[in-house]
Structure 1
Amino acid sequence: MTAKTQPVFRFAPSPNGHLHLGHAYSALLTNKIARHFGGKTLLRIEDIDQARCTPELVTQMLSDLEWIGFEFEGTPEIQSDHFERYRAAADTLKQRDLIYPCFCSRKDIRENADGQTDPDGAPIYPGTCRHLSSSEVEEKLAQNIPHSWRLDMKKALVETGALTWRELQADLETISTIEADPMSWGDVILVRKDTPTSYHLSVVLDDAAQQITHITRGKDLYAATSIHRVLQKLFALPEPLYHHHDLIRDEAAEKLSKSKKAQSLKELREQGWSAHQVRAAIGLD
């Protein structure tokens, strides 16, 4: 198998908190599936949230990944090194009139939403700023009012048409065709108020730049694939093969998360756990 045709996988954690068992599962499962297909795994550090992502957390993350036995080729890709890539992509969408500035606060959105929620449970943006006149937009921009940039989803779908993605099932043989449902998200943010990009924009551009062919990630990102397929189509990028794995859950059947202070790999190490115990706990020993 040549390097050109070798499947390329990636693990892409965010250093905005310590890694937990859920991250360990995703990282090691990615390694396992990559080996199954004779592929290689790359590591990407998704640190666009500069307020919460710290060098200390990156150092701990790399140490934890080495400890559990995660293997990757090359050097880690650092998202914050590529802000210009994201700015350039956003500029092309502005020129194509596919994104618009949004000056609304979260409170504004809650008060004006009609009760509909996106797949993550957040209120769907009601499109308030999409209806601003060009003069109103220019005035607000001139006043330096903080704003994000949102994708005009209806306009984008006129360009892309109906979309699907290919989902690799747990048997690692069956590939299902899944109908994308981007409208369930409404006009998503592609450029945040505090940074020149967003998770959705960065992840799509970086997967293409790193020539990722297979994406293994948790089922909590299953629905977001609809957004990613829109962006891949708008930028004429290759479509990877997706596999969304089950999530590691706590005793209350809630998914492990940094926001809910899930016990970290760092804490487990300090308590005397071995890497073998971690792998056994997640069923990947």
Structure 2
Amino acid sequence: MPLVTTKEILVKARKEGYAVPAFNVTDMQSIQTVVKVCEEENAPCLLEATETTIDTYGAEYIAAIVKVAASEAKVPVAFHLDHSYRYATFVKAIKAGFSSVMIDASQKPFDENVRITKEIVKLAHSVGVAVEAELGHVGQGSSDEEENKKMYTDPDEAAKFVELTNVDFLAVAIGTAHGLYKYEPKLDLDILKKISEKVSIPLVLHGGSGTPGMEKTPPLGISKVNVFTDLQIPIREKAKEILTTQPLEKLYTPTIWKPANEAAVPVIREYLVKLGAKGKA
């Protein structure tokens, strides 16, 4: 089937109380691996790519691979642009056929975040592409916990932001962070509950990797959880093992990256199950 809209996948998830893990993919092998596991679990498949991936391969190239995967898949597949800041990147992604894009102006003051987000919403909605934005700020796991807490999403501001921007999904800061944590993360479910009571659109959690208690968030409005670091760890470890144990004459790209990506299969399956996406295709 052709690519579906991210919005239809996430609106259904919010309505039914589960979340869809959004797996960050970087090449053909990672795309094929995620799609295969989603098919096995009969789960909706949400792939996403960063600006770095687009800069490396080109939006048209990476989108073309995803479109082929979607056309052969037995489950719905959507493709999302993660964390973008450059207008030119949005244009490239939209022209390439991405299902949705994320404008991240969360480090800007509220009014400026609103202004920037509205510009991207106007651009994307004109061609039927959904938009994710962020309010509050999801920091880095390498930062101090108290510093990250200062950037949590305010529920009243979240309601106002959604009303002013007409954004389709909202990423919130409630205790997660990007990358590896140097402290034990704790989700603030009370803040999430208050946000969910005021905001009816699908909510998004970034920094899902390494965060305990994620399964408690879908009933409170979380419909999308970004996953990258937890995929990369087993992929890197397997690639290192192959490169350091196999004879040089037996090494070429498929013999390295296909098994390396397959090392992430248990992680992909675990997220689909614990977030409730299994069986929801």
TM-score (norm 1): 0.34
Structure with the bigger percentage of helix: 2
Larger Rg: 1
